[in-house]
Amino acid sequence: MKKTVIKGADVLGRGRSDLLIADGRLVETGRLDIADAEVVDADGLVALPGLVDLHTHLRQPGYEESETVLSGSQAAAKGGYTAVCAMANSTPVADSPAVVEQVADLGRRAGYVDVQPIGAVSQGLEGRRLAEMGEMAQSQARVRMFSDDGKCVNDPLLMRRALEYAASVDGLIAQHAEESRLTEGSQMHEGAVSARLGMVGWPEVAETSIIARDVLLAEYLDARVHFCHVSTRRSAEIIAAAKKRGVAVTAEVCPHHLILTDHAAQGYDPVFKVNPPLRENDDVEALRSALADGTIDAVATDHAPHSAENKDCEWNAARPGMLGLETALSIAVEALGGPEDVDWNLVAERTSRTPARIAGLRAHGHDFDIGAEANLTLVDPGGRWTVYGNELSSLSTNTPYAGMELPVTVNATFLRGNATVRNGQLTEAMGEN
């Protein structure tokens, strides 16, 4: 029986403890001296439940020049993740059992994180007819989240049917909230900066109008709706009011919406082009507060790798999106108070426990429960690192943080007791290859 003892970790920032892992599960905590176990020195490190990402673009099948399930899984492990939810906008679209099972199988073969496919809401992401939601739920991939992310489910009747269908399989709809008629031709946030630069703006009402509509639909149908990459103060206010009424609504925020503003577009560097766009400082402050008080449930990366061909071009031609998996924890810690003042329990809630519950990933997000799968992350709270795109594990380099020094480093990541990252470096994973 393989045994590993993690010695002297600060477990969730609550106190030092040893953690004994045997056959992939946590079996004992406390002060331990196990003669036949591998020892991992965790002195000075914080142990967190493995991070869970609700919003990852792995680009396979179809865009393997930008990312593969393997390279994306490696980037996730380096970022402290033990599970990621893979968005459906691949080619072919993940709108059938065959494609979601392919993605899940590629994840198992890679072996660095658990890859949970998200199924499309509509066939081909075209917003006309429902995808094979029931079949995907019954498939070996056991899909429970459905999303047309990148495109909004604009048709209210289709959204109603999707919410009803998802509820019937104990699932939920993850909505990319964007009223497309209001964003036609848009290139960035609509405000003073877009006016000065002469770019067509993406108004916040395009997001808030869809969120308000879908809150009412979810309330009427007693269904679950999750809002992807919430980006505005007003969106957070609508979600807070919905939660106060007891509507089954959850929401995520992306790291870049917690730290960057539309002023980043002033240099016309397309690395800062995202959808929804970077907003104003007032929105950033509101989103940070909403994340801290639980109005926004989770940090999700919207990890969106793009090849140089699609990103190293003029702003108008560039595709929206940026990398996020390896930098998300650092940005989340910064947004929640900085490494010296951060509440690690709150970090665990927003990056692991709650996203695991939303996605229905029962093997993840545990607080070191005896008998649970040993999916965990060791973090150096005093570590600092400088971001270089070509040193990240993704096949793409479109990070907005290039050259920046960020707080907190991931020392180790364990998936079912096996180290996928050790001393900050990838190990050979235990996939099914």
The DSSP H or E segment spanning 407 is strand 405-415
How far apart, in Å, are the Cα atoms of 224 and each of 1, 144, 160, 165, 291?
42, 11, 11, 11, 19
Compute the distance between CA of residue 95 and CA of residue 273 in angstroms, rounded to an integer. 27
Q: Are strands 201-202 and 188-189 parallel, antiparallel or unpaired?
A: parallel
CB 19, CB 47: distance < 8 Å: yes
Compute the distance between CA of residue 256 and CA of residue 252 in angstroms, rounded to an integer. 12
Compute the distance between CA of residue 252 and CA of residue 113 in angstroms, rounded to an integer. 20
Residues paired with residue 253 on neighbouring β-strands, in sequence order: 299
Residue 148 a catalytic site member: no
Residues paired with residue 173 on neighbouring β-strands, in sequence order: 146, 225
Compute the distance between CA of residue 290 and CA of residue 11 in angstroms, rounded to an integer. 26
Active-site option among 53, 297, 302, 380: 302
Question: CB neighbours of 142 closer than 8 A, spacing ≥ 6?
Answer: none
The DSSP H or E segment spanning 11 is strand 3-11
Active site residues: 302
